[in-house]
Amino acid sequence: MCSPCGHGSPSASGSAGPVEILPRPSHVIYLIPSVLLLKQNQRKCPVWVMFRLLFFCCVCLLLIVRAEAQVPATIWEQLSSEEHLAKPGWWPRKGDAARSDYVGADVCAGCHSALANGQKQHAMAHTSMPVSNSEGLGRTVNYDIGPFHYSIVPDKDKDNVTYTVTGGGQSFSAPFLWAFGSGSRGQTFLFQHNGDWYEARISFFRGLGFDITPSHPKGIPANLEDALGRKLSPKEASKCFGCHATAAITNHQFDPAHLIPGISCEGCHGPGAAHVAAASAGTGENQGMILNPGRLDPSTSVDFCGSCHRTWWDINELGYRGVGNARFACYRLEASRCWGKGDPRITCFACHDPHRPLVTDLSAYDEKCLSCHVKSAALSVSPDHPGRGCPVSTTQCATCHMPKYNLPQMHAPFTDHYIRVVRDASVFPDK
């Protein structure tokens, strides 16, 4: 299911769970609009106005960072995802390349077999799939919401799965076309109706079965059309596919018929045809022919993952608040005090290798924590280990400092990447 992205409206399941939009604290109310105004009107304001506004924002940011660490010190190095997409060069979800520029992961494996084969085991490689590959669609499903009855029926070979909704003397049937989500937590299913993409009203949840799709209304639908699910706008559909598949947008056109399921090599590194041609010819390659995200500076690398997992600016421009933000790991990470001015030891890539399955043994991350923190509270910090030692333990750090939260309608816990000394784990701190 669309657990991390939140590219839809706050009430849509593309947001992967309800997100409460609340008034911000007074100091942020005045600051954020000023910063946004500065970003959006860089070419319109007189220079003296720009400098005065910039000075005001810098002072406010400094105070907030010191007082609450609510705004990262790297704020001026970061951008929203849309700003990144508008810049030249590759960025996840960018759709300016031709479909012929994509070669597929099997070609990448010709030279990078270990990386390509390892990446195929990562959940990102399975974040979209044909319904025939969906574990949740292997048997007939029946589900009721008031007077509306839902049935999901796979054919003998499970090549086709029919979604039927009946109620009020009416009936609708359509084949499911795509399953979104790796299935580790669950999956949401897409179908078409009158030429539009729809997200089904019910989804599969691991360990539970089927229930109402996150952020869809829990009440009884008003009519059959409401009972079907949620219609995606063309813009939202392209964003959903852009984060759940590779090459879904090419030549600036949404083209789901020719996409590559899941996020494969080229979903992060960019189209590979030119890179492969240069390597095959032995001529070398020009800078920018293929992107290595591992070479990005810390702030940009976290923004890079935030293209689908939401950047700090994305969340603040949308005004999302509440426990639903726990799924936006990039945003939460940069609220952490240990993020500081952006340290390569605390980026997404530092802890999570996209070429390997997600490590679920929390003790495996202890060495990451101890690359910054001294190993004992009795030891003094040093330039290469600026973090103080924990007085409680030096094992299972994430158990205490990165609590999990159960999000409404998600039926699964999410690890909060706002790293901190937790005073009360039952309270979700908005940052």
User: If pLDDT is split at 50, 70 and 90, which confidence band does 190 have?
Assistant: very high
Cα within 13 Å of Cα(237), Cβ side: 19
Residues 260 and 303 in one domain: no
Residues 66 and 115 placed together within one structural domain of the fold: no
pLDDT of 32 reads 52
Distance CA 200, CA 275 (A): 39
Measured distance CA(322)–CA(300) in Å, rounded: 25
In a domain, 79, yes or no: yes
**What is the count of structural domains for the chain?**
3
Q: Is pLDDT at 246 greater than 60 in this prediction? A: yes
One domain, residues 386 and 407: yes
Q: Residue 332 CB: number of other CB atoms within 10 A? A: 26
pLDDT band at 62 (very low <50, low <70, confident <90, very high): very low
* Percent of all residues in the chain with a pLDDT value above 70, rounded to a whole number: 83
* For residue 26, pLDDT beyond 50: no
| Same domain, yes or no: 338 and 325 | yes
Average pLDDT over residues 141-155: 97
Same domain (yes/no): 353, 302: yes
Together in a domain, 76 and 95 = no
pLDDT of residue 340: 87
pLDDT in tens, 69-119: 368 889 889 999 999 999 999 999 999 999 999 999 999 999 999 999 999
3-state secondary structure 143-207: EEECCEEEEEEECCCCCCEEEEEEECCEEEEEECCEEECCCCCEEEEEEEECCEEEEECEEEECC
Q: Between 3 and 138, where is the model more confident?
A: 138
pLDDT, residue 95, reads: 95
Q: Do 131 and 176 contact (CB within 8 A), yes or no?
A: yes
Q: Is residue 259 part of a domain?
A: yes
Q: Read off the tokens for 336.
A: 């952490």
Residues 60, 81: one domain?
A: yes
Is 5 contained in some domain? no
Question: What is the distance between the alpha carbons of residues 198 and 304, in angstroms, rounded to a whole number?
Answer: 28
Helix, coil or strand: residue 265 = helix
- For residue 408, the model assigns a pLDDT of 83
- For 265, phi and psi rounded to 5 degrees? -50, -50
396-414 average pLDDT score: 93
316 and 387 within one domain: yes
Task: Please state which of the ranges 59-63, 241-245, 343-347 shows the lowest mean pLDDT.
Answer: 59-63
Contact 352, 305 (CB under 8 A): no
User: Looking at 213, 232, 251, which one is the last position of a domain?
Assistant: 232
Same domain, yes or no: 307 and 408: yes
Helices (H) and strands (E) in the chain, counts: 15, 17
Are 381 and 311 contained in the same domain?
yes
pLDDT bucket at 241, cuts 50 / 70 / 90 = very high
Q: Does residue 366 surpass a pLDDT of 70?
A: yes
Question: Would you say residue 27 lies in a domain?
Answer: yes
Is it the case that residue 33 has pLDDT exceeding 70? no
- Checking if the pLDDT of 272 tops 60, the result is yes
pLDDT score recorded for residue 235: 95
Smallest CA-to-CA distance from 372 within 329, 343, 404 is with 343
Question: Which one is predicted more confidently, 40 or 88?
Answer: 88
By residue range, what is the domain housing residue 225? 128-232
Q: How confident is the model at residue 4 (pLDDT cuts 50, 70, 90)?
A: very low
∠ Cα 181 185 188 (to 5°): 40
Residue 2 in domain: no
The answer to whether residue 430 sits within a structural domain is no
The reply to whether 427 falls in a domain is: no
Q: Are 338 and 387 in contact (CB under 8 A)?
A: yes
pLDDT-wise least confident of 229-243, 278-292, 311-325, 331-345: 278-292
Q: Do residues 315 and 382 share a domain?
A: yes
Q: Are residues 223 and 156 in the same domain?
A: yes
CB 151 within 8 A of CB 140: yes
